[in-house]
Amino acid sequence: MQIPLPLRALLVFHPSRSRAFSSITMAVSSSSSKPCLRGVVFDMDGTLTVPVIDFQAMYRAVLGEREYARIKSDNPSGIDILHHIESWSPDEQARAYQIIADFEKQGSDRLQIMPGASKLYEFLESRKIRRGLITRNVKEAVDLFHQRSGMIFFPALSREFRPYKPDPAPLLHICSSWGVEPGEVVMIGDSLKDDVACGKRAGAFACLLDETGRYDSPEYQNVELKPDYKVTSLAQVQSLLESNFNLTPDAGMPG
């Protein structure tokens, strides 16, 4: 059962405004209708790992300056580069994918685990809450992340899984493989257009990681799909989950 809409209206956790957040959290916590949380699905780049890929530079390299400016003006919430190049000729696609692969390789070479990721992973593991991953990066990057972080997310879907985010299909696939309902899952990511959209379209809760406050800009205020929650670091996620969800261990989840 989901929280009544007035209480689920965008809950923003900012340390500087903890009093306002706490008042909402107390109202949620006192309700017997807190939803059961049985799984958390994470984005990888910029969420579980420190953002090191210069996506805007990558988009410019793929599209060219003029086309980049045109598409960006038409898509204020962000550019879906993978979707855009699907209509190109095979030769153009090959060139574009090579540019993207070069940028991703540079990112993998500088891979850093996001502060708070390991502690949050351990908390979810201790509560027997499933942990999955969805990324638009390649499987090789996911394998490297698993190897270097020591954390294992399963299922972990890379862009080889089609259709990819923001389509809800990968999140629905994970829910199905876990045997849970989307309303028992939280999607956490740093992209409004990919992660939040994927989560909301699937019927899950969506938590936006916005470290810099970029999504406070007026250009994002009228987007169609908004997150249920917003945090500025992964360190804030545990208390958010404890306040707003029933975290009773799932008997079907292995220890």
Q: What is the pLDDT of residues 177-186, one digit of tens each?
A: 999 999 999 9
pLDDT at 114 over 90: yes
Q: Which of 12-16, 232-236, 247-251: highest mean pLDDT?
A: 232-236
Write down the pLDDT at residue 112: 93
Of the candidates 43, 80, 195, 210, the residue annotated as catalytic is 43
Catalytic residue among 45, 190, 195, 210: 45
- Kindly report the average pLDDT of the chain as a whole number: 84
Q: Please, which pLDDT band fits residue 27 given cuts at 50, 70 and 90?
A: very low
Q: What share of the chain is helix, strand, coil (3-state, %, to 5)?
A: 50, 10, 40
45 included as an active-site residue: yes
Q: What CA–CA distance (Å, rounded) separates 69 from 47? A: 26
Residue 69 CA to residue 84 CA, distance in Å, equals 14
CA–CA dist 135, 187 (Å, integer): 12
Asked if the model's pLDDT at residue 92 lies above 80, the reply is: yes
pLDDT grade for 13, boundaries at 50, 70 and 90 = very low
Alpha-carbon separation of residue 130 from 46, 77, 215 (angstroms): 21, 29, 28
Identify the top-confidence range among 31-35, 74-78, 148-152, 214-218: 148-152
Contact 14, 232 (CB under 8 A): yes
The type of residue at 53 is: I
What pTM value is reported for the model? 0.76
Q: Among the residues of 159-210, which ranges form H helices? A: 169-178, 197-202
Active site residue 228: no
